[in-house]
Structure formats: structure tokens, C-alpha cells
């Protein structure tokens, strides 16, 4: 849920920011973590309508900003030029320019718009302010963003065809029950009691759906509308996501996907100069399937000087290969590169699992849909065969 928060910082006037949080306490905590003094917190009213306005693209913004930086323009000039050229989310550019003109750093200006710029992006910019290499930091973030987007696209493309296949099977089954079965039931009115139980059930269901065609269509349309709403609305999409991932095999694959993002993010932040604990705290926000207490315990143990590889292994946040690679990174003093290799290892493992899943699921779906539709057709024709056999016997 989104909250509108009135905040204040020293040497700056009061302003309004928007944050996503489960409740007011969490929203207040997030605002304070951004070094704001919270004056008021109000839940944002949600509209039942969906907006088709073009959304702010962070990757496109970064690429254009990088081009202007490489051309020799300073930060403020680059943002001003982009603000004049871009029409989508123009208030974002105006907000950044306002903070920059007030003397704030770029990371502080981005922090004021947390709904557009995630903590990871802000951390990358903040690290560049320490090393005076903004271009390198943003290029590193773009590389990370493209890698994660590529994995996400592969997952979506893997489940698209099975979903389409399943939807078509349901449509064909509904067509048979709504139109074909009722037509055949007219033939069997006089001999309905003599039919097998499955045939009687199918014909009774078909007659009921045909007689209540309007209600069936309405319920089906409402079901699809509810499914669309759940997938489009952020809160319900998250609930649906966690419900689906509660299934054992899917949960394990989702944990692998999140671990890949966690290690890749952690490595990117370390490479940018962010301290180990701060980088781990930011990266741990990606582990939504892991209990927060586990992550807090890991952070405490690492801060006490215990090897990160051992801590992660004891918390089941990495298999033997991941632990071995992280230990090698600790010994060589290049843990950031090893964390990226761990992420690559998980990505490769997940690609193999996705390919195996698709190759197994597609034929299974086709067989199941074929069996169901075939059973409906066979049950419709068996009584005709019985009648023809009876006529021949006469």
C-alpha cells in the first residue's frame, strides 16, 4: 500500500514523498531510514481504475543521462535537458532539479523520489559520489538491470506458451459443454436413464450450462476480470504471487531466482565501494521469501567478524558451490567478483531448470487437455454406438 508522507530535513523546506509499505509504522520507519523527519503519514487513496499513462522508465533515463554525461555536461544540465525533452513523469525531473538547485547531491535528490528510484539505484549513485565516477557506477547498474531483465524475460517466455495452451483447452471444453453437448442431449432424452453415470453427469452439466448460458457467461467474465485485477493491482499481485509460490517445487525455484538477484546486487554494490554490511542490507530486500530475522542474524554475525561464506551456509542462503566461491573470494580479496560468479551459477542452473520444466510441461498439458476433450466426445458418442448395435441385433 502507498502512503503520502509529509517530511522535513535540516536546511530544506518540508516536502511530500510517497512510499510503499504494509502499514503506517513501516512507512514511517522507511522515511526515517532516508534521513527524514516525519511530520504526517496518510494512506494514499487508490482508484479502482487503471492508468494507461506512460510510466517512467529508469533504464531509458539512465541511458540518456549517461549519454549527456559522456558529452561533458554536468548533472544539473543533463537533468534539465531531459526534463525539457521528456513528457512522461515530468514532475520527476522538476523534483530532481529543485533539489539540485538547493545544493543537494544527486543521491539526495533521487532519495526524495523513492517510488521512482529504488534503494539499489540510489546506493549506486551514492557510491559514485565517493569515487567521483558517476558514469562507471551507472554503467554498472545498467549491466545489472539488463542481466536481471533477461532472466525475467526467460521466465515469462517459459510460462507463456503453457498458459496459452491451458486457456485454449478451457475455451474448447466450455464450447463443447455449452453448445455441442446440449445438442446431443436432445437425442438421449428418452434413454437418459439407460446411459452410463459419467455420460449422464456430462449431459446434465451441459444442459444446465446451456439453460443458464447468461449466468455462466457472466460468472466466467467476472472470474477473468478478477484474475486480471489481481495481476494488475500491486497488493493483490503480491498476495497471488506468494500463494502460487507456496507450492513446494515452485518455492525452491523462486528462492534460487531471488538468491541470484541477492548475490548479483551484493557484488555490484561492493564493486561500487559500498561497505559490506550496508551492501548486504540493501541486497537483502530482494529476499522476500526469507524470514527477516534470518537476515538480521546473518548481518549481526558478519559484523562480529565471522566469515560471510560460513554465515550464509549456516542460514541455508547458498549451496556448497556458492559457499566455496565466496570463500575463494574472501581469500583472494575479490569477493565482489565471486558474488557475481555465484549469481551467474544460479542463473545457469535456473535456465536448465526452466528448459526442463517447459519440455516436460508442454506435452503433459497437451495430453491432459486431449484426454479431457476426448473423454467428452467419447461419452457423447458411446450411446449412439449402443443404439446402432441394438438396431443391428434386431
Q: Give per-residue pLDDT as tens, 176-194.
A: 777 777 777 666 666 556 6
What is the tens place of the pLDDT at every residue in 295-339?
778 888 888 888 888 888 888 887 888 888 888 888 888 888 888
**Is the distance from CB of 259 to CB of 318 less than 8 angstroms?**
yes
What pLDDT is attached to residue 392?
55
In this structure, are residues 300 and 277 in contact, taking their beta carbons and an 8 Å threshold? Answer: no
Looking at residue 248, its pLDDT comes to 64
State the average pLDDT for the chain.
77
Q: Determine the Cα–Cα distance for residues 115 and 368; give it in Å rounded to an integer.
A: 44
Poorest-pLDDT segment among 72-81, 195-204, 253-262, 328-337: 195-204
Residue 48 is predicted with a pLDDT of 41
Q: What integer pLDDT is reported at residue 50 of this predicted model?
A: 43
Give the model's pLDDT for residue 296: 79
- What one-character-per-residue DSSP string does 100-145 give? HHTT--HHHHHHT-TTTS-HHHHHHHHHHHHHT-HHHHHHHHHHHH
Name the band, by pLDDT with cuts 50, 70 and 90, for residue 52: very low
> Where would I find the H helices in 176-212?
181-185, 197-211
Name every residue whose Cβ is closer than 8 Å to that of residue 335 and which is 6 or more positions away in sequence: 267, 270, 308, 326, 329
- CB-CB contact of 292 with 299 (8 Å): no
pLDDT at 82 over 80: yes
152's enclosing H/E stretch is helix 134-175
Half-sphere exposure of 100 (CA within 13 A, CB side): 16
Provide the whole-model pTM: 0.63
Q: How far is CA 305 from CA 88, 276, 312, in A?
A: 47, 11, 13
Q: Is the pLDDT of residue 289 over 50?
A: yes
How far apart (Å, rounded) are the C-alpha atoms in residues 282 and 262?
Answer: 9
pLDDT above 70 (res 135): yes
Instruction: Please state the rounded mean pLDDT for residues 57-68.
Output: 86
Provide the pLDDT for residue 291: 66
Higher pLDDT pick, 239 / 105: 105
What does the angle CA 29 – CA 35 – CA 38 come to, to the nearest 5 degrees?
55
Greater pLDDT, 12 or 324: 324
Amino acid at each position: 500500500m502507498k502512503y503520502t508522507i509529509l517530511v522535513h530535513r535540516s536546511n530544506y523546506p518540508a516536502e511530500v514523498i510517497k512510499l510503499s509499505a504494509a502499514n503506517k509504522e513501516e512507512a514511517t520507519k522507511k522515511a526515517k531510514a532516508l534521513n527524514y523527519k516525519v511530520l504526517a503519514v496518510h494512506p494514499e487513496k487508490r482508484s479502482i481504475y487503471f492508468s494507461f499513462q506512460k510510466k517512467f522508465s529508469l533504464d531509458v533515463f539512465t541511458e540518456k543521462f549517461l549519454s549527456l554525461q559522456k558529452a561533458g555536461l554536468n548533472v544539473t544540465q543533463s537533468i534539465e535537458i531531459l526534463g525539457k525533452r521528456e513528457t512522461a513523469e515530468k514532475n520527476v525531473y522538476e523534483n530532481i532539479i529543485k533539489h539540485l538547485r538547493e545544493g543537494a547531491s544527486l543521491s539526495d535528490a533521487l532519495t526524495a523520489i523513492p517510488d521512482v528510484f529504488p534503494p539499489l539505484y540510489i546506493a549506486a549513485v551514492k557510491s559514485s559520489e565517493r569515487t567521483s565516477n558517476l558514469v562507471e557506477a551507472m554503467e554498472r547498474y545498467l549491466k545489472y538491470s539488463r542481466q536481471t531483465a533477461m532472466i525475467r524475460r526467460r521466465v515469462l517466455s517459459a510460462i507463456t506458451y503453457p498458459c496459452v495452451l491451458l486457456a485454449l483447452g478451457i475455451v474448447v471444453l466450455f464450447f463443447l459443454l455449452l453448445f455441442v453437448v446440449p445438442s446431443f442431449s436432445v437425442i438421449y432424452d428418452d434413454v437418459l436413464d439407460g446411459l452410463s453415470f459419467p455420460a449422464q453427469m456430462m449431459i446434465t452439466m451441459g444442459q444446465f450450462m446451456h439453460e443458464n448460458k447468461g449466468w455462466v457467461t457472466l460468472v466466467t467474465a467476472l472470474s477473468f476480470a478478477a484474475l486480471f485485477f489481481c495481476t494488475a493491482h500491486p497488493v493483490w499481485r503480491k498476495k497471488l504471487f506468494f500463494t502460487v509460490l507456496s507450492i513446494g517445487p515452485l518455492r525452491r525455484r523462486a528462492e534460487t531466482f531471488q538468491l541470484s538477484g541477492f548475490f548479483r546486487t551484493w557484488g555490484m554494490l561492493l564493486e561500487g565501494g559500498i561497505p559490506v554490511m550496508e551492501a548486504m542490507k540493501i541486497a537483502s530486500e530482494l529476499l522476500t521469501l526469507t524470514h527477516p530475522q534470518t537476515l538480521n542474524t546473518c548481518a549481526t554475525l558478519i559484523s562480529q567478524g565471522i566469515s560471510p561464506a560460513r554465515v550464509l551456509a549456516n542460514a541455508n542462503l547458498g549451496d556448497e558451490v556458492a559457499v566455496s566461491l565466496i570463500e575463494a573470494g574472501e581469500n583472494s580479496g575479490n569477493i565482489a567478483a565471486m558474488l557475481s560468479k555465484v549469481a551467474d551459477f544460479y542463473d545457469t542452473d535456473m535456465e536448465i531448470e526452466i528448459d526442463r520444466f517447459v519440455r516436460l510441461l508442454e506435452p503433459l498439458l497437451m495430453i491432459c487437455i486431449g484426454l479431457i476433450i476426448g473423454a467428452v466426445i467419447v461419452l457423447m458418442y458411446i450411446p449412439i454406438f449402443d443404439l446402432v448395435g441394438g438396431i443391428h441385433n434386431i
